[in-house]
Structure formats: C-alpha cells, structure tokens
C-alpha cells in the first residue's frame, strides 16, 4: 500500500527569477477602496464660509457690545497678533495643556494597562476611574487652586487629573481588544516574548492611545481655560475673563477665535497626519 510518491525530481524553488507556478493575481482581485478626493476640503470650506455669513447677517441686527461683526472681530484679532503679550498668553496656555497631558498620558497609560491586563486591577480600579471620569472638571480646577494656590502647578494638576480617566478607559479597552490569534501566530513561529510584545501587541494598542490623546486634548483645553478664568493671571482664560470684565465682546470673540485656530492647527498639522500615517493600513469605512 504505502508507495508515497517522492517529489524530489521536481525542480525546487530557488535561484533567481522564480516563476510563479500559480496564476498571478491582478489588480481586479483587490478589495476596492474609495479614493481620497478634494470634495471633503471644499465641503469644509463651504461650511466655514456659510457660518461666517450667518454671523455677518446676525451682527447687522445687534449692537456691537452684544454681537460685533466678523470684520471687526478679525480686525481686532490681527491687531492683537502685533502685540507680543498675545503670544505670551497663548504659549502659557499651550504649555499648561501639554504638561497636564503628559501627566495624564503617563498615569492613564499605567492605570489602563493594569486594568486591561489584570482582573484584580480591573476590579480594584474600575469604579474609581468611572467616578473620576464623571466628576465635573471644574471641581478639579477649584480643588487644585485651593490646594496648590494660584499658579501653574494648580492648572497642570487640574488638567492632568481631568484627562487621566479618559486615557485610562481607552487603554483599558485597547488592551482588552488585542487580537490573541496574532499572539498565537507569533508563538507558533517561535518569536521571542519581547518580539511578541513589540511587534504584535503594542501596535494593536496604538490606535486606542491615539484616540485617548485626542479626547484628552479636547478636555484639557476646556479645563485649562476654566482654571485660568477662575484664578490665574495669565493665559487665554485670563484674557477672556479680563475682556469679559470690561464688557468688550469684540476682544472676547477675537481671543476665542484665535484660540480655536491654534487648536485646529494642532489637530490638522500634528494629530490628523500622525493618525493617518499610523492607521494608513485601514480601509476607510465611509464612502
């Protein structure tokens, strides 16, 4: 019965210029993906222009002290840009946000990993993280000022504490979503433990870290301006409160818009390209 056919007479794959022994795949075998187009850019621009138009029309019906028109506000904005004070306040807020975020990312990462990797960690920490997530960030601001005084430390701590739960929750979910079949693939190919961690586990968590960062950033700006508004004498929040005190609506709007532009720049110059590059392998779900 057992005369197993030997295949040694068949030429082995090797040498240069391997000829495929199977039909070569073509472009038509690919899963189609939608093309990136300029349509999105145009639509965004259109939406922005229509908002300014609505603002302009509305401003015709109100007094300047209530709703100044866009031309006036942008004029003030541009003249503010000539003043070095403006950059000082902007930079102060950016510095506080970045420092607070750093705290949030480090702490949130550790807490999230502990919760994702150990059952004990999850049960010990999950209710606290959820409570910390629910407490209004203004409360952290008030407490930080009470405990640390009217200084940078208060702002940074308040920002950090506000953003920690958001980062932790994202990382917790990220670790739980790790595809174990890839880890088993690594084991089957006898990868080292460190290679499995570096090449198979960490890359799976990165999209979650990115989402956590973006969310934390959004929270951080808000709490930063609130803390500055409550008790500090520098930063964008201080400027807003100062001009509000003088009932200067034009300056309040000019500062709001300037700040928004800075946020959008960070989003579109740093976050979006980073995210696009890190997740370029993922076909878009939209069409």
Partner 1 sequence: MSEKVSQSDGDQPYLVIDNVRKQFPRRGEPPLTVIDGLNVAVEHGSLLSILGPSGCGKSTLLNMINGLDDVTSGRIVINNHVVSARSRSAVRIGVVFQEPRLLPWRTVRDNVRLPLDELNVSRDEADERVQRYLDLVGLGEFGDYFPLRLSGGMQQRVALARGLAIEPDLLLADEPFSALDEITARKLRREFTEIWRATGRTVLFVTHNIREAVFLSTRMLVVTARPCTTHMDIAIDVPYPRVPEDDRLFEIEKQVTKDFIQMEEAAAG
- Binding residues for partner 1, per CB under 8 A? 1-8, 10-14, 18-25, 29-31, 33, 181-182, 184-185, 187-192, 195, 199-200, 203, 278-283
Long-range contacts: 160-163, Cβ < 8 Å, 24+? 160/99, 160/100, 160/101, 160/102, 160/103, 160/104, 160/107, 161/104, 161/132, 162/100, 162/104, 162/137, 162/219, 162/220, 162/223, 163/100, 163/101, 163/104, 163/105, 163/108, 163/216, 163/219, 163/220, 163/223
- What is the torsion angle, in degrees rounded to the nearest 10, for the CA atoms of residue 70, residue 76, residue 81 and residue 85? -130
CB of 38 to partner 1, least distance (A): 22
**DSSP string for 10-36:** SPPS-SSSPPPSSPPP-GGGSPP-PPP
Residue 74 or 191 having the CB closest to partner 1: 191
| Rounded CA separation 251/101 (Å) | 28
* In the complex, least distance from residue 282 CB atom to partner 1, rounded to whole angstroms: 7
Residues 6+ apart with CB under 8 A from 45: none
**Closest distance of CB 174 from partner 1, Å:** 14
In the complex, least distance from residue 34 CB atom to partner 1, rounded to whole angstroms: 12
Q: How far is the CB of 119 from partner 1 (least distance, A)?
A: 22
CA 86 to CA 182: how far, in whole Å? 51
Residue 100 or 174 having the CB closest to partner 1: 174
In the complex, least distance from residue 44 CB atom to partner 1, rounded to whole angstroms: 27
Q: Which is nearer to partner 1, 44 or 198 (CB)?
A: 198
Residue 7, both tokens: 């295949």
Q: Closest approach of Cβ 281 to partner 1, in Å? A: 4
* Nearest partner of 124 among 76, 172, 69, judged by Cα: 172
Q: Quick one: 3 or 47, whose CB is closer to partner 1?
A: 3
* C-beta of 65 vs 279, nearer to partner 1: 279
Closer residue to partner 1 (CB): 1 or 60: 1
Give the nearer residue to partner 1 in terms of CB position, either 61 or 189: 189
């Amino acid at each position: 019965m057992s005369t197993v056919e030997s295949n040694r007479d068949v030429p082995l794959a090797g040498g240069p210029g391997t000829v495929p022994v199977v039909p070569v795949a073509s472009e038509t075998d690919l899963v189609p993906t939608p093309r990136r187009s300029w349509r999105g850019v145009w639509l965004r621009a259109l939406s922005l222009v229509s908002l300014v138009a609505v603002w302009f029309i509305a401003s015709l019906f109100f007094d300047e002290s209530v709703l100044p028109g866009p031309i006036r506000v942008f004029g003030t904005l541009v003249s503010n840009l000539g003043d070095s004070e403006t950059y000082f306040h902007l930079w102060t807020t950016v510095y506080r946000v970045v420092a607070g975020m750093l705290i949030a990312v480090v702490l949130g990462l550790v807490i999230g990993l502990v919760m994702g990797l150990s059952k004990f960690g999850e049960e010990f920490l999950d209710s606290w993280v959820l409570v910390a997530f629910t407490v209004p960030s203004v409360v952290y601001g008030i407490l930080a000022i009470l405990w640390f005084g009217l200084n940078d430390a208060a702002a940074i701590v308040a920002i950090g504490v506000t953003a920690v739960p958001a980062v932790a929750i994202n990382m917790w979910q990220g670790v739980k979503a790790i595809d174990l079949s890839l880890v088993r693939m690594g084991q089957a190919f006898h990868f080292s433990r460190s290679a499995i961690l570096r090449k198979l586990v960490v890359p799976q968590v990165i999209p979650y870290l990115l989402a956590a960062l973006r969310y934390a950033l959004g929270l951080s700006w808000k709490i930063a301006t609130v803390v500055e508004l409550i008790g500090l004498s520098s930063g964008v929040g201080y400027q807003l409160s100062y001009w509000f005190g003088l009932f200067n609506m034009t300056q309040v709007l000019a500062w709001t818009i300037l700040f928004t532009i800075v946020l959008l720049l960070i989003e579109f110059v740093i976050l979006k390209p980073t995210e696009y590059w890190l997740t370029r392998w993922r076909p878009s779900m939209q069409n």
